[in-house]
Chains A and B, each alone.
Chain A
Amino acid sequence: SAVISQKPSRDICQRGTSLTIQCQVDSQVTMMFWYRQQPGQSLTLIATANQGSEATYESGFVIDKFPISRPNLTFSTLTVSNMSPEDSSIYLCSERTSGIGGEQFFGPGTRLTVL
C-alpha cells in the first residue's frame, strides 16, 4: 500500500474560521477519498477527489462547506469552512492505489476540535 500522511495531525480552532487539511501519498493513486468520523460514530464519506476534475460529494456535504483540491495524483486538500462545534471530528484521507475494486487504505487522520 502507499504511505499516506496528513497535516495537521490535530488542531483546535475557533468557531467561524477555516482549516485546510493536507493529504500526501508517496505514490500516484487513482482514487482519493475524504471521510469524517464524528465522536462515537463510524466513518462517513464526504467526497471522492479525482485528479483533474471536480470532487464528487456525498449527500449532506457541499462544496462551499468542504472545498477539496486534487492538483495531482499524489496530493489533496480538504478545507473545513466556517467551522462550528458540530464539525469537531476526525478527518481521514484515504486512497485506492489500484482503483475501483482495490484495497483501500487510510491516512493517520486529523483530529479537529472546534470551540
Chain B
Amino acid sequence: EDKVVQSPLSLVVHEGDTVTLNCSYEVTNFRSLLWYKQEKKAPTFLFMLTSSGIEKKSGRLSSILDKKELSSILNITATQTGDSAIYLCAVDLNNDMRFGAGTRLTVKP
C-alpha cells in the first residue's frame, strides 16, 4: 500500500527560528513529490521535486528530494507568524496523488 508519512505532526516555534519538515514515502510508480501550504481551505502550491539532490528555493523556503532515502525535507528559515499553516507533502503516482497527514506549524511572535 502506498504511504506518505510526514513528521513532525505539529511544531511550535518562535519568529526567527529555522524549521525542517520531513516527508518520507513508500510508493510504487513514483513520479514526483510536491509540497503545499494550507492556511484556510485550499492548499497553495510550493514546490514540485522530481530529481534527487537538486534544491528548489523560493525566498525563505527551500526543499530537496532524496530518492535513495525516499524522502524530502522542506526548510523554512527566519520564520514569521505568516508561515503558520499546515504543510502538506504529496507524492504523484502517475494519475494519482497521495497526501501525507501534514505538519501543523505554529510560529509565535
User: A residues touching B (Cβ–Cβ < 8 Å)?
Assistant: 1, 31, 33, 41-45, 48, 90, 92, 100-101, 103-109, 111
Cβ-based interface call for B41 (8 A): yes
Known A-B contacts: A42-B99, A42-B100, A48-B96. Give 18 more (CB < 8 A). A1-B45, A33-B97, A41-B101, A43-B43, A43-B88, A92-B42, A92-B43, A100-B94, A101-B92, A103-B34, A104-B34, A104-B92, A106-B43, A106-B45, A107-B42, A108-B41, A109-B41, A111-B41
Question: Are B95 and A103 in contact (CB-based, < 8 A)?
Answer: no
- A101-B31, A103-B34 as given contacts; A42 in contact with B48, CB under 8 Å: no
Q: Which of A1, A44, A109 has the most chain B CB atoms inside 10 A of its CB?
A: A109
Question: Are A90 and B41 in contact (CB-based, < 8 A)?
Answer: yes
User: B residues touching A (Cβ–Cβ < 8 Å)?
Assistant: 31-32, 34, 36, 40-45, 48, 88, 90, 92, 94-97, 99-102
Residue of A nearest to B36 (CB): A106
Q: Which residues of B contact A48 (CB under 8 A)?
A: 95-96
Question: Are B101 and A108 in contact (CB-based, < 8 A)?
Answer: no
Tally A-B pairs: CB < 8 A: 49
Main secondary structure of the interface of B (DSSP, over half): strand
Contact check: which of A42, A101, A104, A108 meets B45 at CB < 8 Å? A104
Q: Which residues of A contact B41 (CB under 8 A)?
A: 90, 92, 108-109, 111
Q: Which residues of A contact B31 (CB under 8 A)?
A: 100-101
Question: Are B42 and A104 in contact (CB-based, < 8 A)?
Answer: no
- A42-B100, A42-B101, A45-B96 as given contacts; A101 in contact with B42, CB under 8 Å: no
Q: Which residues of A contact B102 (CB under 8 A)?
A: 42
The 5 closest A-B pairs by CB, nearest first: A109-B41, A106-B42, A42-B99, A43-B99, A109-B42
Q: Which of A41, A90, A101 has the most chain B CB atoms inside 10 A of its CB?
A: A101
Q: Give the distance to chain B from A56, nearest Cβ to Cβ, in Å.
A: 8
